[in-house]
Amino acid sequence: MKTLLIFFSSIFFTSLFAQKITTVTLKGEKNIGKREIFIYTPREYSDQSRNFEVVYVLDAQNREYFDAVHTTIAYQNQGVRPMIVVGIPSSNRNFDFLPKNKHPETVQEQYGELGGADIFSDFIENKIMPFIDQNYRTIPTKIGVGYSNGGTFINYTLLKKPYLFDVIFSIDANFNYDNGLLVDLIKEKGEIHDSIQFYYTCQTPNSDSWLHRSRQFNNELKKNFKINIVEELFEKETHFSVYQQSILNGFKSYFEYQFFNSQNLIKYLKTIEEKGYVTNKNEILRIAILFKNFGQIFEAKNLLLSFSNEAAKITGSNPYDLFDKGDLYLSIGLIDLAKKYFLHCDRVLEEMKNNLTIEKYNFGKKMISEKLKFIETKEQ
């Protein structure tokens, strides 16, 4: 199969562009000012037919947080779901992240730097997100990543603007803020908007009260909403070392839940279609081929059968893609469709004959012929 991959890839050359990080400046109201925003696009963004989920990372003034997220996604998504990653810096993170306090002593504890969380969330909602959606090919799924006081903010938005993020990563969030304000708010809130699909939360043994209030918050979350929650306690990490490991574990858990399980993936794709994003056949086939290559034949078949009308259309002029799709259908037992793909692949190879060396042409014909002969034995 590796030889075949090299052969067909040499027949049809597709330009691959490296991943890219762009910096743009967006202006908010007076308390926000101008912010430099980092925007990472994966190498797959060069494919004009594809759209991407967007991850919003807080605390990007610490560039390593932003870099940890986009590099982790590049490794952990297995080619199934590369994403756009947006880094949002904060020059005064406590003002940006912390809501207005209820307890007077909180002002002194935070040295007066607090209270701008509603302003900051408005900036994200009304300036950053529209800019990204207008200038990039996005899927209507927004993922928020917040650490420490940034985790306080991300949970605050969950309660105040539950529509803002569809997936949340809360990393060692400060649930102690303002004498447990988040716990009080979630108890007052009751039912939460049902757009939240996945919630990852982790803590370190930073303090007993942080852990206690984190558990109180999570218990209220479970009571009021049917949500897939992954909780972790990193007993051997500190508040300052936990970020990297939590990003790895969190995205690994998210991808396994949302994208590496065909039932959940099908539900997800149907849901985003309701929001206006139409999943095209190439996307379905690409993911199904990846499932097949991972040995997950049931998952590949389940996905294809759920989008059978789209996936069954035979088009394209890339012989490698056509061969791979034929091999996919053959592996899940859809022999008639596999045969059509191999025959179409053979016609495309004939059309390209004059542009190939005789060795490449003969090798391609041999591989296709072997598949068609195998299908003949199955048809008898």
Quick check: helix, strand or coil at residue 171? strand
For residue 28, the cross-strand partners are none
Residues with Cβ within 8 Å of 131's Cβ and at least 6 positions away in sequence, in order, are 24, 26, 37
- The answer as to CATH 1.25.40 being correct for domain 280-379 is yes
In terms of C-beta density within 10 A (0-12 exposed, 13-18 middle, 19 or more buried), how is residue 84 classed?
buried
What's the confidence (pLDDT) of residue 2?
Answer: 42
What's the confidence (pLDDT) of residue 6?
Answer: 40
Does the pLDDT value for residue 227 go beyond 80? yes
What's the confidence (pLDDT) of residue 372?
Answer: 92
Does the pLDDT value for residue 10 go beyond 50? no
Does the pLDDT value for residue 328 go beyond 60? yes
- Mean of pLDDT values over 106-120: 79
Give 329-373 pLDDT, tens digit per residue.
899 888 988 899 999 999 999 999 888 899 988 998 999 999 999
Contact criterion met (CB below 8 Å) for 79 and 48: no
% of the chain exceeding 70 in pLDDT = 91
Q: Range(s) for CATH 1.25.40 in the chain? A: 280-379
Q: Range(s) for CATH 3.40.50.1820 in the chain? A: 31-260
What's the confidence (pLDDT) of residue 276?
Answer: 84
The CATH number that domain 31-260 falls under is: 3.40.50.1820
Determine which helix (DSSP H) or strand (DSSP E) holds 187, and give its type and residue range.
helix 177-189
Using CA atoms, how far apart are residues 172 and 260, in angstroms rounded to an integer?
26
Q: Which two tokens stand for residue 246?
A: 């939590």
Using CA atoms, how far apart are residues 280 and 167, in angstroms rounded to an integer?
23
Average pLDDT over the chain, rounded to an integer: 88
Does the pLDDT value for residue 115 go beyond 80? no
Residues with Cβ within 8 Å of 237's Cβ and at least 6 positions away in sequence, in order, are 204, 245
Give 51-74 pLDDT, tens digit per residue.
999 999 999 999 999 999 999 999
pLDDT-wise least confident of 7-21, 263-277, 298-312, 335-349: 7-21
What's the confidence (pLDDT) of residue 97?
Answer: 94
What's the confidence (pLDDT) of residue 313?
Answer: 67
Give 19-46 pLDDT, tens digit per residue.
899 999 999 887 888 999 999 999 999 9
Does the pLDDT value for residue 17 go beyond 70? no
Determine which helix (DSSP H) or strand (DSSP E) holds 47, and give its type and residue range.
none
What's the confidence (pLDDT) of residue 3?
Answer: 44
Highest mean pLDDT among 97-111, 185-199, 220-234: 220-234
Does the pLDDT value for residue 5 go beyond 60? no
Using CA atoms, how far apart are residues 166 and 141, in angstroms rounded to an integer?
6
What's the confidence (pLDDT) of residue 14?
Answer: 37
% of the chain exceeding 90 in pLDDT = 59
Using CA atoms, how far apart are residues 172 and 241, in angstroms rounded to an integer?
10
Give 184-211 pLDDT, tens digit per residue.
999 887 666 666 789 999 999 988 888 9
